Amino acid sequence: MDYRERLKEMINERALKVSDRPIFKLSSGKMSTYYMDLRTITLDPEGGFIIGNLIFEMIKDRNPDAVGGLTLGADPISYATALISYINRKPIKPFVVRKEPKGHGTGKQIEGNVKPGEKVFIVEDVVTTAGSSLKAAKVARDFGLEILGIIAIVDREEGGEENIRKEGFDFFPVFKISEFLNR
């Protein structure tokens, strides 16, 4: 099975919402004529399997210790990648970056079995300006993790890649929005 092609079909069938006028409010506050609801794919058994395989293939030769990002968009991507990595006998741990430090207990902002000095990839479902990805990267770096790059399922091509590179990180999108829309 061509995982990338199947994922593209799934996104077209379920996740991409298009309107002739800007009715979709993005996390940045900007209004848009289209929206990518990738949770319809990342929280689906087949979608998780496909995404886990795609991300694992992208990163396995870089020997990361872990993969994670800002909750909630990154969580199913991290878990799927970790599961596929284990099946392939090259385990990569998942981790979660909380939006704010935990308000009780140990007060952690990063959950998972990661330690300072480990090499990680930050993952995200959709990157627009890369605010969420960069927030996760900052928290991970402040914790002492070495960031190998940022991966997104879809790059909306609205400045995110430039913002990521400006902060010194490599960026690896699976798709660019122009592969779905005639803009």
Binding-site residue positions for orotate: 128, 156
Separation CA 33–CA 123 (nearest Å): 25
With beta carbons less than 8 A apart as the criterion, state whether 162 and 135 touch: no
Binding-site members for 5-phospho-alpha-D-ribose 1-diphosphate are 98-99, 102, 104, 124-132
Separation CA 33–CA 30 (nearest Å): 10
Residues 6 or more apart in contact with residue 41 via CB below 8 angstroms? 7, 10, 11, 14, 15, 47, 51, 153
Angle between helices 45-59 and 75-87 in degrees, nearest 10: 70
Separation CA 174–CA 164 (nearest Å): 15
Separation CA 127–CA 115 (nearest Å): 26
Pairing of strands 119-127, 66-70: parallel
Separation CA 56–CA 114 (nearest Å): 18
Binding-site members are 98-99, 102, 104, 124-132, 156
Q: What share of the chain is helix, strand, coil (3-state, %, to 5)?
A: 40, 25, 35
